[in-house]
Amino acid sequence: MILQRPHWPPQTKLIVSLLVLAFLIYLLFRFSAAIPPLILAIILANIIAPGVTRIQEQLRVQRGLATLFAYLILLLFVVIVPVVIFPPLAAQLDLLNLDIQLILEQLRLGLSQEFHLFGVVIDGNSLVEQLSASFQGLAQPFIGQSLVFLVDVITSVVWVVFILVISFYLVKDGPALRVWIEGLPPPEYRQDFIRLRDEVGLIWGSFFRGQLVLGLVVAIIFTASGFILGLPFALAMGILAGLMEFLPSVGHAIWITTASILAFFLGSTWLPLPNWIFMLLIIGLHTAFTQFDLNYLIPRIIGRSVHLPPLVVILGIVAGAVTAGVLGIPLAAPTIASARVIGRYIYANLFDLDPFPAQPAPPPLPRSPAWWRLGRRAR
């Protein structure tokens, strides 16, 4: 006779759950230095995994060999790209540094005087000093965290090796790890877990892989347009535009502000236009491109799973920068989108609703005209 194993009483379950939670919090603080590299490793693994799966299917090799081949391609790409892009980019950035100093000097001279506004006298010198002090006060914590993170992760050979090794095994053992994780939830909640995992995975996968493609497309478009219009430092501004695609809603504002300053103070390199007209031309073209980006490029390259209201994205970027430094900025949008999915599931279960409501059926296709249907019947 097989005796039925007794269930733990609620008090025991509560105590064990609290102990496990306390232990996880301790590990989180104890190994907090490894969290950013681990996040980067997971991101890199999510980006490379689909390519490894395709290589495995096309060449019919084991997943470990396909993963090794994909990482060799990645290392080759990392070596070739700096050799091709960095020399001309470094030259443009060197010139850009000189021009920025010239622009700042012109601004300082222009503001170093008294302004009379509705009978109120404004001292330009004190205004410049206050603005400089305020900007430094706001930027110093963020820049300090960003520089510390970049120095600790990028320049440290140990962390770079850690990221590559962890991401390699995450890609190589991805299918087995996926099956193991699917077996963790209780059987009655396993289907819900798989649905949630698929939705969250779609958000992160479409965001990172699509964001890379989108950034490359935008960088090419802006670089070509910059050379055609004569925008100063077209290559550097094109790369900046591609990088700014990782900052939804905020990136466009940063780019157009930088481009407007360059256009107003330096003008076009070959178009015979006054600087202020060239600046308006850049603003108008960028406004048109923003609509094209939001309504065409992003839905088709990234998808609509990460779409969030601009205000939510901006607040999320600020919160991510304060919480996680430079790493929290690009991760804000997919994190909020994932929280929306999980929050919807929790809300539905709290109020006994269906956590996965049926999707509305697509609208029916328009019927063919009567003369077309008659013609088909005649044939």
SS3 123: strand
Which tokens hold the place of 335? 């994190």
Q: Rounded CA gap, 110 and 100, in Å? A: 15
In 3D space, the residue among 337, 316, 338 whose CA is nearest the CA of residue 328 turns out to be: 316
- What's the pLDDT score for residue 22? 93
Q: For the chain of 379 residues, list the mean pLDDT of each consecutive stretch of 10.
A: 72 90 89 82 85 88 90 83 64 57 60 60 61 50 48 62 88 88 86 89 80 87 90 84 79 86 83 88 90 78 68 77 74 85 90 76 46 46
Q: Rounded CA gap, 52 and 66, in Å? A: 6
- What's the pLDDT score for residue 374? 45
Supply φ then ψ for residue 303, to 5 degrees: 100, 175
Residue 1, number of CB atoms within 10 A of its CB: 2
- What's the pLDDT score for residue 281? 92
Show the DSSP H helices in 230-309 as ranges.
234-244, 251-266, 275-292, 298-301
Q: Which long-range contacts (CB under 8 A, 24 or more apart) does 352-360 make?
A: 355/192, 356/192, 356/195
Per the DSSP assignment, residues forming a β-bridge with 117 are: 120
Pair 226, 65: CB distance under 8 Å: no
- What's the pLDDT score for residue 18? 92
- What's the pLDDT score for residue 112? 61
Is the entire prediction scored with pTM above 0.75? Answer: no
| Residue 174 CB partners (closer than 8 Å, separation 6+) | 45, 49, 63
C-alpha distances (whole Å) from 328 to each of 37, 142, 145, 163, 259 are 13, 11, 11, 18, 25
- What's the pLDDT score for residue 355? 82
- What's the pLDDT score for residue 269? 82
